Amino acid sequence: MHENVRSLPILKPLKPLGEALLFAGNFLRHPNMLGSIIPSSRFLVEQVLESVDFGRARVIVEYGPGVGTFTGEILRRMRGDARLVALETNRDFVRFLTRTLPDPRLTVVHDSAAEVQTVLGRLGLAAPRYIISGIPLGSMPDPVRTEIAEQSRAALEPGGAFLVYQFTARALPTLERTFGAVERSRERRNFPPAQLFLCTAPA
């Protein structure tokens, strides 16, 4: 597209509209994998990222970036020398993110959260300080949910955190079994209202 056309202000609203349509279309095809028909709100992004000490984080992992609602904001806040690895099972979202977020600090991987340790090993990255997860753990079969929780705990650096946002508390028993005490909060201004679970790996 010609640069002058790209910068026309009237075309700016088309970007969020395109993201919303891509997200909603995929929700209709894979409702259980997405868990919501619209991406997360800025309120939820703000509340989840409040727990992240970006000055300290050299490696961050995101599960289920979707159209990049968290991803863009994580990149905006993250250190210049930090790395973000986003694991996404939906091929459309992987293509979309690779095209729209060409940041050398970001690696988008078409794989499941359950493969986090294998993927980090393949990329030769250190253990992450944070794993930020928007995948619908609550609607997964218990063995899959348990596998993802255990892999996440094992992948984190000592004292690192697994930050989970969900629309139900169904994943809570698994998180408590895997991490011990879990700090809970809510973001009611999100649609649907979201629950946040902050799980800390042993120091």
Ligand X SMILES: C[S@@+](CC[C@H](N)C(=O)[O-])C[C@H]1O[C@@H](n2cnc3c(N)ncnc32)[C@H](O)[C@@H]1O
Residues that bind ligand X (CB under 6 A): 33-36, 39-40, 63-66, 69-70, 87-90, 93, 112-113, 134-136
The residue among 134 and 203 lying less far from ligand X, judged by its C-beta, is 134
Residue 173 to residue 119: CA distance in whole angstroms: 26
- Cα–Cα distance between 48 and 11 in angstroms, integer? 30
CA atoms of 189 and 48, how far apart (whole Å):
13
Residue with smaller CB distance to ligand X, 7 or 91: 91
- Phi first, then psi, for residue 111 (nearest 5°) are -160, 170
Q: How far is the CB of 60 from ligand X (least distance, A)?
A: 13
- For the CA atoms of 41, 42, 45, 51, the dihedral, rounded to the nearest 10 degrees, stands at -140
Nearer to ligand X (CB atom), residue 90 or residue 200: 90
**Minimum CB separation from ligand X for residue 135, in Å?**
4
Q: How many CB atoms are located within 10 Å of the residue 133 CB?
A: 27
DSSP-assigned letter for residue 92:
H
Identify which of residues 34 and 182 has a Cβ nearer to ligand X in the complex.
34
CB of 132 to ligand X, least distance (A): 8
Shortest distance (Å) from residue 152 CB to ligand X = 11
